[in-house]
Structure 1
C-alpha cells in the first residue's frame, strides 16, 4: 500500500501528495505516539490523581536557613543584605499558609543593617549584624503603642541621641523598636539589659529592629517609621514570628 501511495504522490507531483508520503515514512501518522525519553514519572497518588504541589518556600533561603525556622512559626521577616560587607538591605514579610506554604504579604522595604555588614559570629563592637533566625517577642518605644499584639514598653527612655556613622541625627530612631532575640532572654522589655546575656557580654546584644535614621547601624536592622508601625501591627505572638537576617549568599546556604 505504501508503494502505491508513493507512486501516486510522485505521479501527481503535488505538495499534498509528497507531504502524505513523508508523514507515512516518518511515522507521524501512526495511531500511537512514539515512546517518550526516559524521565521521572509525573507524581500521582494511588487513585491516579496528580499529587498536589508542594507548599511554597521563602525565596532565597537555602536548606540550612529554612531548617532554622521553627516548625510552629508562621510569620517571618526576611532581611536580605546586598552583600556580606554592605549596610544596605531589604525586608519582606512572609506568612505561612497551612496549604499553600509561605506567602509574601508585603512589598520589599528598604532597610539598613550594620556598618560593616554581616557576620556568623557577632562580637560586641564589631559593627556587624548577626546572621541567623531569631525570635521577635518584645517591643517598645518612645511613642505610644500603635496597637501591636506583642508586649509593648512605652517610655521616654527610648531616646536616641547624637549622630550616626554618616553624621545623620539619631533622634527618633527608637520611637518604635522590636527586640531581636539575639543573646537576650525573651519576655523582657527591649531596654532590659543587666549583663546576664546567655552567651556573655562580649558577644554583643541590644540588637533591635528600629526606625531608620538614613544610615548604617551598629548591629540593628532599621526600617522607615511607617514600615516599623506596619510591622508592629502585623506581628502576632501566636504565630511565633521570627526575623531571618543576613546577606543573600549566607541566607542561601
Structure 2
C-alpha cells in the first residue's frame, strides 16, 4: 500500500529505541532480521535496523538506524488489522520475494522487474485472487481493476520493494482459462493486502513501511533467502512481543 497520504511533513523525532534480536519473539530459525521500531501506536514514523546471526549464534547489527514511515493510521496488531484503515500490521513476517519498476539492484530474493501490465489484486469481492500479484489484467479475470494497484503507476514508491508476507494466501496456482493467479487457501479479505517494504514517497503510507531508495537498496542487496530473513514490526513499547 502506497505512501501517498501526508503532504505536510513534520520534523521527525529521534530514532525509536532499538530492540535486541535475542529479546524478540517469533523469529524462529531466521538468521537475518529487519526490525522496524515504531515510536508509538499512533505515530507514522519508525526506525529500521538490520541484524544478522553468525555461525556462533550471536546477533550483530548489519545496518544502523534508518528513518522510516508507516501507515497514516498508525499501528495495530496484525490479527486485528482491517482493510482501508491505513494501519501498519504489528508482528513478525517472512520476506520471500521482491519486485520493482527499476531493474534488480542485486538482491538474492526472487525479483520481478514490473511492467505496465503488472497488478497487485486486492478485490475483497474475489477472495481467490486477493493479495496476489497478477501479470496482466486479463479480459477473463475475476478481480476488478479498480481494486488493484497497477505497480508501474508508482515509479517512485515501487522503484524497488520487498513483499512483507502479511495475510498472504496459500496454494497459489495459475488459472490459464482466466489468465490469473488464484489461491487454494485464500487470504482474509477483511485484513488488507499489498503490504510492502518500499521506497519513500511523500509522507506516511497506507500500511506499508517505507525507507529511502538508497537504504532500501542496501537492505535488498543484503537479504539472503538462505538465511531465512524476517521482518519484525511494532511500536517500541510492544516490539519484544511482535
Superimposed CA distance per residue, residues 36-56 of structure 1 (whole angstroms, 9 cap, x where no aligned partner): xxxxxxxxxxxxxxxxxxxxx
Alpha-carbon spacing, 1:155–1:113, altered in 2? closer, same or farther (3 Å): same
- Residue in 2 aligned with 1:140? 99
1:55-74 matches, cutoff 5 A: 60=19, 66-70=24-28, 72-74=29-31
Q: TM-score, with normalisation over the residues of structure 1?
A: 0.66
- Residue in 1 aligned with 2:163? 179
C-alpha distance in structure 1 between counterparts of 2:181 and 2:37, whole Å:
27
Q: Offset at 1:155? A: 1.4
Aligned pair partner of 1:110 in 63, 67, 71? 67
Contact kept, 8 Å, 1:159 with 1:172, in 2: the verdict is no
Contact kept, 8 Å, 2:66 with 2:211, in 1: the verdict is yes
Contact kept, 8 Å, 2:170 with 2:186, in 1: the verdict is no
Contact kept, 8 Å, 1:61 with 1:251, in 2: the verdict is no
Contact kept, 8 Å, 2:30 with 2:229, in 1: the verdict is yes
- Residue in 1 aligned with 2:211? 223
Q: Does 1:249 align with 2:208?
A: no
C-alpha distance in structure 2 between counterparts of 1:222 and 1:197, whole Å:
29
C-alpha distance in structure 2 between counterparts of 1:246 and 1:110, whole Å:
15
C-alpha distance in structure 1 between counterparts of 2:170 and 2:223, whole Å:
15
Q: Offset at 1:60? A: 2.4
C-alpha distance in structure 2 between counterparts of 1:147 and 1:184, whole Å:
25
C-alpha distance in structure 1 between counterparts of 2:31 and 2:153, whole Å:
32
Partner SS state of residue 178, structure 1: strand
Name the structure with the higher strand share. Answer: 2
Segments ≥4 residues shifted beyond 2 Å:
58-63, 156-161, 185-188, 192-199
- Residue in 2 aligned with 1:27? none
Contact kept, 8 Å, 1:183 with 1:197, in 2: the verdict is no
C-alpha distance in structure 1 between counterparts of 2:231 and 2:224, whole Å:
13
- Residue in 2 aligned with 1:51? none
Alpha-carbon spacing, 1:211–1:85, altered in 2? closer, same or farther (3 Å): same
C-alpha distance in structure 2 between counterparts of 1:186 and 1:222, whole Å:
26
Contact kept, 8 Å, 1:137 with 1:186, in 2: the verdict is no
Name the structure with the higher helix share. Answer: 1
For these two proteins, the number of residue pairs brought into alignment is 182
Aligned pair partner of 1:159 in 143, 152, 156? 152
| Larger-gyration structure (1/2) | 1
Unmatched tracts of structure 2, length 5 or more: 1-16, 117-150, 173-179
Q: TM-score, with normalisation over the residues of structure 2?
A: 0.68
Question: Over the residues paired in the alignment, what is the CA RMSD in angstroms?
Answer: 2.5
Q: Does 1:92 align with 2:85?
A: no
Unmatched tracts of structure 1, length 5 or more: 1-57, 162-170
Q: Does 1:80 align with 2:37?
A: yes
